[in-house]
Amino acid sequence: MSLRQATLHQLKIFTILARHLNMTRAAEELYMTPAALSIQIKQLSQAMGAPLYEQIGKRLFLTDAGRLVDVASRDVHERLEVLAMDLAQAQGIESGSLRVSIITTAKYFVPRILGAFSKLHPGIDIALEVINRDHILERLRQNLDDLYIMGQAPDNLSVMALPFMENPLVIVAPADHPLAAKRNIDPKELAGEPFIAREPGSGTRLAGEHFFQERGVHLTTRMTLGSNEAVKQAVAGGLGLAVLSRHTLVLDAASGAFAVLDVQGFPLLRHWYAVYPMGKQISPVTRAFLTYIATEGTPKTVTSAPGSKPSP
Ligand code: PGA
């Protein structure tokens, strides 16, 4: 027999025998019979190529080889305990990572939520991508991230989509627009107004188009722009009205540049969804983040009344 045939179990048993120096008591602690214990020790002695103990009268003594095996065995088990702790930590959330891809409009609030979450778990390494819907869908298909945040779950992919916050869409006008003071505006009254649209594929754009199409209102698109910030600049410059998520206006409250129009049917109530592919093994960090956004992490609903200036 060679040393490699010794098992971890036999080494463990031997350290207990070495502590008690008594077969019966060691067997009791191990819930084994003394005979079974002695077979295991005999096999271990054979693997080590030397007797590990000697019995003189009723007393049991470790041999030199036995003392060496006892020390080595305790080293091995201590190392295994450290390994178990390291593995638990690696699988736990304090040193994990979280990779999130979010749709452009979510950049107005997700970094704040991630910031608060990372204050609670400073060891977590967070990576954030801000991209458009096509890119999100491509990354989702390729399973590149832990989580995706978007305003509309894809209907052609098999995903889990957890709504966690409201996403009200409003119609924004320059503050001095004649409709800014009007209440209960009929959507048909907007047919003659020039609109600034987001790029094709934008969730905001799709939802706005759907609303007006359903009511048979044809909007005039004066300009198409690829970002919320560009749309806001165009609106502030008097080029037209726009459908925007109220989240995009949060930092503009003080500027007084915009009015939110009181249009019947608005705000359009949508939601933000945390999305991941169906069947994905959710990491402990991702699970902790999902719990966080479903509870403490949810910022106040954005609820300023239509017709008012954007809420702070
Ligand atoms: P966006 O927003 O695609 O218009 O940036 C996300 C959504 O509301 O779906």
Q: Give dist(CA 43, CA 11) in Å, integer.
A: 11
| Cis peptide leading into residue 267 (ω within 30°) | yes
Whether omega for the bond prior to residue 306 falls within 30 degrees of 0, making it cis, is: no
* CB-ligand 1 contact for 104 (6 Å cutoff): yes
Distance from the CA of 255 to the center of ligand 1, in angstroms? Answer: 24
248 lines ligand 1 (CB under 6 A): no
- Report the half-sphere exposure of 208 (CA within 13 A, side-chain side): 27
Q: What is the pTM of this model?
A: 0.67
Atom of ligand 1 nearest to the CA of 228: 5
Between the CA of 185 and the centroid of ligand 1 the distance, in Å, is 25
- Residue 107 CB less than 6 A away from ligand 1: no
Ligand 1: which of 109, 131, 133 to mutate, judged by most atoms within 8 Å of the beta carbon? 133
**Helix H segments across 130-282?**
133-141, 203-214, 228-236
Beta bridge partners of 271: 166
Which residues are within 8 A (CB) of 149 and not within 5 positions of it... i.e. 6 or more apart?
Answer: 100, 101, 102, 103, 106, 110, 272, 273, 274, 275
- pLDDT tens, the chain, 312 aa long: 688 889 988 999 999 999 999 999 998 888 788 899 999 999 999 999 999 999 998 899 999 999 999 999 999 988 887 776 677 666 677 778 899 999 999 999 999 999 989 988 888 999 999 998 889 999 999 999 999 999 999 989 999 999 998 899 999 999 999 999 999 999 999 998 999 999 998 989 999 999 999 999 999 999 999 999 999 999 999 999 999 999 999 877 777 889 999 999 999 999 999 999 999 988 889 988 998 888 754 444 443 333 344 333
User: What is the CA(291)–ligand 1 centre distance, in A?
Assistant: 23
Given a contact cutoff of 8 angstroms between Cβ atoms, the answer to whether 132 and 103 are in contact is yes
CA–CA gap between residue 240 and residue 234 (Å, rounded): 7
* CA 118 / ligand 1 centre spacing (Å): 25
